[in-house]
Amino acid sequence: MRQTRSKPSYARLYDDLRVLLAVHRCGSMTRAAEELETTTSTVSRQIARLRSELGISPFVKSDGGWLLNPRLASLIEAFEHADGMIFSELSRVSESAPDAARDIRISALPSIISHVLIPRVADLWRERAHLRPVFENRVYEIGLGMSDVALVFNLPDSGRLKTRRCGSLPFALYAPRGWVPGDGWASLTDRYAAQYAEARRAWFGSEAMLKTDSFAQLVPAMRDLGLAAVLPTVIAEADPDLVHVPGSGLDVARDLHIIYHESRSDDTDLRAVVDWICRNLADLPDPAAALPEAQERFYTIQG
C-alpha cells in the first residue's frame, strides 16, 4: 500500500529550505552552520528531516562538497527568489520605520573592508542611518554565499545574480625605505601565489625569504625584516614606512564586481549600499596606472 505523507508545517519547511539554500550556496554543512550561526549537527538534522519530507536526498556528496540534487533545482530557485523578495519588502517597510535597524551582510576582501569600507561607513549612515553593515571576509568563495552583496574578482558561472563592475583594486611592489634589490622579498603562501611565483622570482633573482597567510601578516614582516612584497596599494599607501618600487613589471590592477541576487533589485537599501561601495572604490591609489602593459598580468590575492 502506498504511504501518504502528512502535510508539513510551513514554518518548519521554510526553516529547512533556508538551511538547504545555505548548504547549496556554501558548499558544506560546516560552512552553512557558521553562516546560520548554528551547529553542523543541527544543519545535518534539518537536511535529514527535509529528505524525509521530500522523499529524496537533497544533496549528492562529491569531492568538492555537497552538490544539490538536480531534481530540487527548481525548488531551491523558487525559494531563493521568494526569500529575496521578502527582504526587498522588508526594506520598503523599514522606510516607514526609519529607526528600526536592518542588517546588510557585505562580503569582500579583508583589505577592502578594513581600509576602504569601514573608514567610510559614516557616509552610508548619512544616507541610510538605519542600516547596520555586517562585514564578512571573502577569501576563497567565488559566489554570493549567504551575503546580501559580495565583491568578487571573478563572476560566478551560474545563478540568477545581478552584476556590476564597480572599480579595480591596484597592487604594486612596495618595500621599506632604503631597500635595494638584493635585500630580499616576501610573499603570500603557495596556497595563493604559487602559480605566479615564477615572475617574481625572475625579477628578484631569488626565492622569497618568507611567506605568510595574509597581507595583514605580510606588512609587519616587511617592516621588521626589510623585505619587499607586492601589496594592495590601499594598504601600502597608508603605511609611511613603505614606498613604491617602480619599474618592476609586477604592478597590476584587477577589476572588482559587485554581485547580488536578482530578486533584490527593488531593495532600495541594497541599491544604496551598492552605490556607496562603488563610490568608495572609484579613487583608490594606483601606481600601476602608469604602466598599462602590466594590466594583463594577474595575481591571486588575499586580503
pLDDT in tens, 193-219: 777 789 899 999 999 999 999 999 999
| pLDDT digit string, tens, across residues 63-86 | 666 778 888 888 877 877 777 777
Q: What mean pLDDT is predicted for residues 256-284? A: 90
The closest alpha carbon to 249, from 205, 296, 215, belongs to: 296
User: Which residue intervals of the chain bear CATH 3.40.190.10?
Assistant: 98-167+254-284
User: Which residue intervals of the chain bear CATH 1.10.10.10?
Assistant: 10-76
Residue 258 has pLDDT above 70, yes or no: yes
More confident residue, 242 or 144: 242
Residue 106 has pLDDT above 90, yes or no: yes
Q: Which three cell numbers stand for residue 124?
A: 552610508
Q: Cα–Cα distances in Å, from 80 out to 18, 239, 284? A: 8, 43, 34
**What is the structure's pLDDT at 126?**
94
Q: What is the DSSP string of 269-287?
A: HHHHHHHHHHHHTTT---G
Q: What mean pLDDT is predicted for residues 223-249? A: 93
Looking at every residue in the chain, the average pLDDT score rounds to 83
User: Which residue intervals of the chain bear CATH 3.40.190.290?
Assistant: 169-252
Q: What pTM did the predictor assign?
A: 0.74
In the CATH scheme, what is the code of domain 169-252? 3.40.190.290
Residue 6 has pLDDT above 60, yes or no: no
Which residues are CB-neighbours of 163 under 8 A, at least 6 positions away?
A: 155, 257, 258, 259
Cα–Cα distance, 95 to 180 (Å, whole number):
57
The closest alpha carbon to 256, from 111, 146, 132, belongs to: 111
| CATH architecture for residues 98-167+254-284 | 3-Layer(aba) Sandwich (3.40)
Residue 292 has pLDDT above 60, yes or no: no
| CATH architecture for residues 10-76 | Orthogonal Bundle (1.10)
Residue 49 has pLDDT above 90, yes or no: no
Cα–Cα distance, 45 to 39 (Å, whole number):
10
**What is the structure's pLDDT at 1?**
43
Cα–Cα distance, 298 to 280 (Å, whole number):
23
The closest alpha carbon to 112, from 131, 134, 138, belongs to: 138
